[in-house]
Amino acid sequence: MQRITVQTTPIEGQKPGTSGLRKKTHVFMQPHFLENFIQSIWVGIGGVEGKTLVLGGDGRYFNDRAAQVILRMAAASGAKKMIVGQNALLSTPAASNLIRIRKTDGGIIMSASHNPGGPKEDFGVKFNTANGGPTPEELTNRIFEASKSVTAYDIVETQDIDLSQLGTTELAGMEVEIVDPVADYAALMQSLFDFGAIRDLLASGFRLRFDAMHAVTGPYAKAILEETLGAPEGSVVNAVPSPDFGGGHPDPNPIWAKELMDVVFGEGAPDFGAASDGDGDRNMIVGRNIYVTPSDSLAVLAANAHLAPGYSDGLKGVARSMPTSRELDRVAAAKGLDCFETPTGWKFFGNLLDAGRVSLCGEESAGTGSDHVREKDGLWAVLLWLNILAVKRQPVASIMTAHWEQYGRNYYSRHDYEGVDSDKANALVDALRGKLIHLPGQDFSGLTVESADEFAYDDPVDGSRSENQGIRIGFTGGARIVFRLSGTGTVGATLRVYLEDVETDPSKMHRDAQETLANVIAAADEIAGIEAYTGRTAPDVKT
């Protein structure tokens, strides 16, 4: 075992996005690519000498190999200790929790979230800071700048550490503690929710189905839902993490979780269905014969969080990402809560959570969470839903109907155009940006534009400003379109078009969302020229 210094040169394309660096797996496996990026993280955070970090990932292809490299680099650079999930597994919210309760200097999470995994699919690495949350923009920029000037990295030459056995070992003077990835997270969940009430609900004949999508949440859901809360064995399906997620796409939405949708909308359906994504931070909620959109779910959780012990004193405030539907705003207004609108990216919630300004937040992309960690948390959302159902003893559909009748319904959909040529996608956005000043007062597909702008966010905690965070078109009557280029893909650009309209007539609250939004969808293409710029006549995914 010896420490060596390896000479290298900068590699282009190592600029982290909102959730770290994501690339095709074969790119990360190229000589020096992973090592260069890890070295850039070390430089960006001021070195790792004497520091303690958490390490884990979602189990996707290359997760095990990358973990060994990161451990050897940390030891060579003088880290004091690495706390590693058994078999290098940790869900993203569990990693955030571990960073917080162990008071470490941060952690590295190996994941590309909801993206597919495998030799030809995606891999990712991100650094979470000492509060358990994603890196702020200032640190992300430091890491990127370091990647442009890296010339060498230190690494220990040694055999692999056995990460399958719990306990403590040593690597070149660095302590390596291998921990149960589930235990601390499960204890946190038990402190927040009324497990007794949920156990009684499940014992009453209430049936659930949780689809872990062959991803990291499987062991967590098995331990909590089946072993602790008493759901019958088999209630959690696709529960064994797989390097390629069973050949599927671990994104919990009606398209990629079709197996679950077929069951919950089929004959003899369970009362409640849920799914989580690759790294466990996203969720999908379904009731018998009803799909709950992420925006609806966020609003329902905000309206009913007080039914769970961890939130019985009420919420401090709520926050949503700008593209998320504005249904949450009406709940907040009715309850007298502050409601913050932030850019997309969980890191923007971090300051609000740390400052005690909010205790629940969420994004339309199936991410919801609270101040218990500094990441969105899929299984947490499922347990909060179960706690609400255990108290109300009503079907999901009845809860949704009552909620809409009280607060109104925002019909909502997101249309994704994936793998669009980057130049064409940017040209569309640039042309749209140039039209904004002229749009108010114009009519499109029967809708009159009331406002048009590009969202910018002034952080109320630290005063920082984030510009160019999505284009918003508002219409008279409450309809809205948001256009945004996403940074979560690894090929080309993904154009996301968010569409919503408000309905307050109870007799019109159970219609098909796509049909109800038809004029808003038409207006989006008319305003932005989606087909003209992209050549696409329809989105790849509608959620």
Domain ranges of the chain: 2-180, 185-407, 410-542
Structure tokens at 438: 């002229």
CA distance 462 to 342: 14
Is residue 128 a contact partner of residue 53, using CB atoms and an 8 Å limit?
no
Position 103, amino acid? K
What confidence tens digit (pLDDT) does each residue in 329-345 have? 999 999 999 999 999 98
**How much is the average pLDDT of 345-371?**
94
- Nearest partner of 335 among 299, 308, 293, judged by Cα: 299
Superfamily of structural domain 410-542: Alpha-D-phosphohexomutase, C-terminal domain (3.30.310.50)
Residue 220 has phi, psi (to 5 degrees) of: -70, -45
Q: With 0-12 CB in 10 A as exposed, 13-18 as middle and 19+ as buried, what is 101?
A: middle
CA distance 22 to 490: 6
CA distance 114 to 122: 10
CATH code of the domain made up of 2-180: 3.40.120.10
Determine the Cα angle at 541 with ends 467 and 13, to 5°: 50
What is the C-alpha R_g of the chain? Answer: 23
User: What integer pLDDT is reported at residue 379 of this predicted model?
Assistant: 98
**Chain Cα centroid distance, residue 373:** 13
pLDDT at 486 over 90: no
Determine the Cα angle at 161 with ends 160 and 164, to 5°: 120
User: What integer pLDDT is reported at residue 491 of this predicted model?
Assistant: 63
- According to DSSP H, which parts of 77-161 are helical? 92-101, 137-147
**How much is the average pLDDT of 106-127?**
96
Least confident stretch, 16-20, 252-256, 319-323: 16-20
* Confidence at 490, pLDDT banded by 50, 70, 90: low
Structure tokens at 236: 């959690």
User: What integer pLDDT is reported at residue 487 of this predicted model?
Assistant: 60
**How much is the average pLDDT of 108-114?**
95
CA distance 72 to 88: 14
User: What integer pLDDT is reported at residue 315 of this predicted model?
Assistant: 97
What confidence tens digit (pLDDT) does each residue in 119-164 have? 999 999 999 999 999 998 889 999 999 999 999 999 999 999 999 9
**What residues contact 452, with CB distance under 8 A and at least 6 apart?**
435, 436, 437, 439, 440, 471, 472, 473, 474
* Confidence at 489, pLDDT banded by 50, 70, 90: low
What confidence tens digit (pLDDT) does each residue in 11-25 have? 999 999 878 999 999
Beta strands in 17-132 (DSSP E): 21-24, 52-57, 81-89, 107-110, 122-128
State the distance between the two ends of the chain, measured CA to CA, in whole angstroms: 52
290 forms beta bridges with 287
- Torsion from C-alpha of 382, 243, 66, 82, nearest 10 degrees: 40
Q: What is the DSSP letter of 509?
A: S
CA distance 44 to 483: 32
Position 86, amino acid? Q
Average pLDDT, the chain: 95
The SS3 of residue 444 is strand
**How much is the average pLDDT of 316-323?**
97
Query: Which residue is catalytic, options 113, 147, 242, 297?
Result: 113
User: What integer pLDDT is reported at residue 347 of this predicted model?
Assistant: 85
Fold agreement between 2-180 and 185-407: yes
State whether the Cα torsion 499-500-501-503 is positive or negative: positive
Please state, for a pLDDT cut of 70, what percent of the chain lies above it: 99
pLDDT at 100 over 90: yes
**How much is the average pLDDT of 268-293?**
96
User: What integer pLDDT is reported at residue 331 of this predicted model?
Assistant: 97
CA distance 97 to 113: 17
- Sheet containing 174-179, strands listed edge to edge, beginning at the edge strand earlier in sequence: 21-24, 122-128, 107-110, 52-57, 81-89, 174-179, 167-171
Query: Quick check: is 113 catalytic?
Result: yes
107 forms beta bridges with 54, 128
**How much is the average pLDDT of 473-479?**
96
- Nearest partner of 28 among 117, 114, 109, 125, judged by Cα: 125
What confidence tens digit (pLDDT) does each residue in 362-418 have? 999 889 999 999 999 999 999 999 999 999 999 999 999 999 999 999 999 999 999
**How much is the average pLDDT of 235-256?**
95
User: What integer pLDDT is reported at residue 543 of this predicted model?
Assistant: 82
Please state, for a pLDDT cut of 90, what percent of the chain lies above it: 93
User: What integer pLDDT is reported at residue 488 of this predicted model?
Assistant: 55
* Confidence at 542, pLDDT banded by 50, 70, 90: confident
- According to DSSP H, which parts of 393-504 are helical? 396-407, 422-435
CA distance 341 to 318: 9
Superfamily of structural domain 185-407: Alpha-D-Glucose-1,6-Bisphosphate, subunit A, domain 3 (3.40.120.10)
What confidence tens digit (pLDDT) does each residue in 195-215 have? 999 999 999 999 999 999 999
User: What integer pLDDT is reported at residue 541 of this predicted model?
Assistant: 84
CA distance 40 to 34: 10
- Torsion from C-alpha of 271, 359, 469, 518, nearest 10 degrees: 30
The SS3 of residue 253 is coil
